[in-house]
Structure 1
Amino acid sequence: MFFFRNLDEKTRRIMLEELEMDIDKRTLYISERLNGDGKKEYPNLLREAIESGNEQTLANSLKDMFNEKELRKNKSVKIPRNANIILAEGEFNKFYIRAICIRALEEGKKLRIYRAKEVKKPRNESNAKIGEFITDPQKLLSCLRDNNFECLQEMVPTGPNSGLSVELVD
């Protein structure tokens, strides 16, 4: 379970604004692993988690909304049983970080990387980032809005199970 240090009503409101912007622009990430019902329901389930839940409530609501298999390198392979958790954690954290970037810019605060979720095998590159400051919140926000993973890798190691997020500091 993630511990989002700045998840309050203001952050949730901004997360919702960011979600609605993605929906309006048709840029909301919808995993190809989701089945038909999952793809249809995902935006509303994400909205509900942002309004009053967290990454766990989103993962629980997505539990039966994945295909059994996916095509990878021209082979049909089973989708991992924890696909709902991977998607929920990544996407909830993404919208949380976007909101925190906006707050940092509006409130004149700094952003610092921290471990928001304990992981069994933390990556060395993730551990090295803990405690670092994000010097350009606008750039991080743009990377997240554009789903620019190369840009993100420079700033915050991402990917399944990194367990990293950002916090506001004075």
Structure 2
Amino acid sequence: MGIRHENLDAITRGHMLEEIQIGDHYMSPRLTAEGLAAWPGLMQEAAQHHNDDWLAQQLINRNLLRSEESYTRDGVTRTRRINQPHAAQQLGEGEFNRYYIRGLCQRAEQEGKNELVIYRGKDVNTPRPESEVKIGTGVSTQTLLTTLRRNDFVTIEDAIGVPGGPNSGLTCRLP
């Protein structure tokens, strides 16, 4: 189950689409050539009509993820299998959430608000203490927007300073 986005409505979706039009999408190395070609359109379709669960499912249904990836440890390059359902969920949730928050930042600023409030939009088995302390706090829309517009795999955790990587279930809402 994906992230619950409290302010995912027509207004926020419209701002998400504006952010998607800016381009410079994160192009995951886990996507196949077909996946790389389809990714911008899938993201747009998800923002217009669906959610992160739909986006992740499309990656699986359309076979758009690689089955293996290479990585280097201790100077040795190795190959490992990709857990495709997990990779699809992580990519779908992370990128949908990133565009959702970018769109929400635009909406908040248009409504005269200069911050969003952090909340946990998805239950996690073992919440990190670093993410727990962020829940209920405000974060600058300008800081979020600037950070989340980078085209690498930037997550909400990166933007608000939570160490440990993605999958915290954190997102934002209007104050």
Deviations 1:19-63 (A, max 9, x none): 0111xxxx1111011011111111111111111000000001001
Q: Given residue 34 of structure 1, which amino acid in structure 2 is its aligned partner? A: L
Q: 5+ unaligned residues in a row in structure 1: which ranges?
A: none
TM-score w.r.t. the length of structure 2 is: 0.87
**1:119 aligned to which of 124, 131, 134:** 124
Report the counterpart of residue 163 of structure 1 in structure 2. Answer: 169
Report the counterpart of residue 79 of structure 1 in structure 2. Answer: 82
TM-score w.r.t. the length of structure 1 is: 0.89
| Whole-Å separation in 2 of the counterparts to 1:78 and 1:154 | 29
Report the counterpart of residue 46 of structure 1 in structure 2. Answer: 43
| Whole-Å separation in 1 of the counterparts to 2:45 and 2:150 | 23
The Cα of 1:157 is off from its aligned counterpart by 2.9
The Cα of 1:80 is off from its aligned counterpart by 2.1
Moved over 4 A (4+): 147-152
**1:146 aligned to which of 142, 150, 163:** 150
| Whole-Å separation in 1 of the counterparts to 2:155 and 2:171 | 17
The residue matched to 2:133 in structure 1 has which SS?
helix
Instruction: Trace 1:5-154 onto structure 2 (pairs within 5 A).
Output: 5-22=6-23, 27-63=24-60, 64-73=63-72, 74-81=77-84, 82-109=86-113, 110-134=115-139, 136-147=140-151, 149=154, 153=158
The residue matched to 1:113 in structure 2 has which SS?
strand
**Amino-acid identity (%):** 40
The Cα of 1:153 is off from its aligned counterpart by 2.9
CA contact 1:98–1:141 (8 Å) conserved in 2? yes
Q: 5+ unaligned residues in a row in structure 2: which ranges?
A: none
Root-mean-square deviation (Å): 1.9
Deviations 1:137-159 (A, max 9, x none): 11210011125759963625373
